[in-house]
Every structure is written in C-alpha cells, then in structure tokens.
Amino acid sequence: MQNQDEIYMRRALELARHGKFKTSPNPRVGCVIVYQNKIIGEGFHRQYGDAHAEVYAVNSVINKELLKEATVYLTLEPCAHFGKTPPCVDLLIHHRFPRVVIATADPFKKVNGEGIAKLKAEGVKVTLGVCECEAIELNKRFFTFHKHKRPYIILKWAVSADGYIGVNDNTLSKEERWITNERSNQLSHLWRAEEDAILVGTNTAILDNPQLDCRNVNGQNPIRILIDKQLKVEENAAIFNKNATTYILNHVKNEKKGHLEWKKYKEGELFDALFNLCIEKQILSIIVEGGAITHNSFISKNTWDETRVLEGNVRLGKGVSAPNLNRISEERFKLGDNWIDIYRNDQT
C-alpha cells in the first residue's frame, strides 16, 4: 500500500506531465501543497520562461496562513538561483513551510543541492527520494543533458519485413519506398514534437527529401540538424524550408543566413561539434531519423539512450540493411499492421 508521501508525490508527477512539449530547456516540474491530509494547492511549470510550479501552487492557495503548517511535494529540488524567475527556494522559506518532500535533486550546476541545503539551513525538514525513479524518467532529457553534457539521443528507423530500412534508388517514389502505415507515420510526428531537435544525414536528405516537421500532429516543429560534410544537399531541398531553424554540420564553411546556419567541423570531430552545438543552443534531446550510416555512427560510439524501431509488413527485396543493436527490445506493441520495438541503453 502506498504511503501518504507517495500518493501526493504521484499527483505532483501527474501535474508535471502537463508541461510536455513546452518547458524545454527547463525540466517538467509539479508541486502539491497538503494541509492536514488535504490538497490545498497545486501547480506545474507550464512553459519555458513562465513561473515555476511552486509559484503556481502557492498562488492557488486561498488562505496563505495555512502554508506555515503545510507540506510541499516537489518532483524536483527547488531552484536556488536567479534565472528567468527568482529562486523558488526563497518563496518556500518566505511562507515558512515546515516540511518539503522532494522526489530528486536537481543536476543543474546552479542548483545541484543548493536548494536542499538552503531549506535545511532555515530549519525546514526535507525528505528526499520519494518516487525518485519516476521523477528522473520524467526528466530524463534534462538529467542526461546536465549530467553527461550531451542531449538525450533517440535513434528511430523503419524496417521492412525482410530487414531493410530503405532502398538507395532515387528513381523510386516516396510511396514505393514507404515501409510503415499512416498510423505509424502520425506516431513518428508525435515523437518529433516531443524532442528539441531532429537529425539526418546527407543520403536521407537527398533520397527522401524530408521536411522533418510534425505537421500531422498539433505540436512545435523540432530544430533540424543536417550532417552534410560536402554540402551535397541542394538549396531547394525541403529540409531548408522556413518551418524550423536548421543547422548544417559540414567540412566547408561557417555561415548564418536567416533560419539556416552552417557549422564547420573537422574530420573525426562530428560528435564534439554536435554536442557543442547542443550545449550552445540548449538542445536537450535529439531524435535521429537516419540513414544507416548516421545511425551506425551513433551505435558504434555507444552514444544513444533509446532506439525506436517501426517494423512494417512490406518486403523490399533489396536495399540498405537495418542497423544491428545486438539486444532484445524492452517494449513491443502493435500499431495497425506494424510493430513498434523500444530499446533502452543502460550503458550510457
């Protein structure tokens, strides 16, 4: 049976999930305020630059006098620095909360235990680690970015029933090379909307001419990243349209033109260039959509966190073989006549 702390923390986690799509590069955070075993206030971080969860929760309480006898439940350690908003830990101290329950500490270097330390210094009783695994999973992109100094990386490809991810033949139409169904396509667009950026290599950009947006769902288009060493992708390619900011990692030039920016890197330094770009632009997550050369470069470096494979029932007969992860999927479900396999990398 769940104890009271877990019950209220799970409600805070539920609230935090409402910030999906909008909070990056900030984490998703939920807050619940409890007085005499009754929830009297709730809040969550709604979007980047907006007030934090604690502010919304405190403001939702009608009788502020109750706060000095209430318990706060937070999915993440309260911030202790001035950013877009003032430190939330000061707000909790100001209202004299006697107890604060926190799911997990904040890995961000400007917080990283400072919020907890400040609460304890003011005599606040702090309970840490309630529903910690769930809280870290909720903000796995944020945690990966600040702990490993790189984005959370999702590899995604579609594979035919006979093991191919595509055909290197630009005389074929998109329909002739399409492996999955419409429902899988819509799911792919939803996945795009969940991430900060989407990445492809030269061959995919030329053969598929993808827009790399999420037009089939109601979401914000991700930043586009193209690896194009020798700038072979033509200027009129769909990936260069004005629907999203686009970065082109290449060996030729540094240049900025409107929503397009070329970033030059040296041979052998692709991942340094990519991760430096992500740190500079606060890109917390990337979904990689191919092709095989690009996917295998991430796999060979063991630089990935999750892989999503859409298995169609069509047979191509020939083509580019799917990458091999040498592991069993942790999750498998059916979507129409397609199967979806999810792999997670516990070695990163």
Active site residues: 54
- Compute CA 50 distance to the chain's CA centroid, rounded to the nearest angstrom: 19
Query: What are the distances in angstroms from CA 134 to CA 116, 150, 151, 213, 331?
Result: 19, 21, 19, 29, 17
DSSP 266-324: -TT-HHHHHHHHHHHHT--EEEE---HHHHHHHHHTT--SEEEEEE-S---SSSEEPP-
Residue 136: count of CB within 10 angstroms of its CB = 17
Look at residues 83, 21, 13 and name the one whose alpha carbon lies nearest to residue 52. 83
Residue pair 8/34 in contact (Cβ under 8 Å)? The answer is yes
Which residue in 290, 286, 288 sits closest to 177, CA to CA? 290
The contacts of residue 82 (CB under 8 Å, 6+ apart) are none
**Bridge partners (DSSP) listed for residue 335:** 338
CB contact at 8 A, 151 and 304:
no
Dist CA 233 CA 200 (whole Å): 12
- Which region holds residue 28: left if phi is over 0, alpha if psi is between -120 and 50, else beta? beta
Residue 332's closest CA among 310, 315, 347? Answer: 310
- Residue 276, CA atoms < 13 Å, CB-side half-sphere: 9
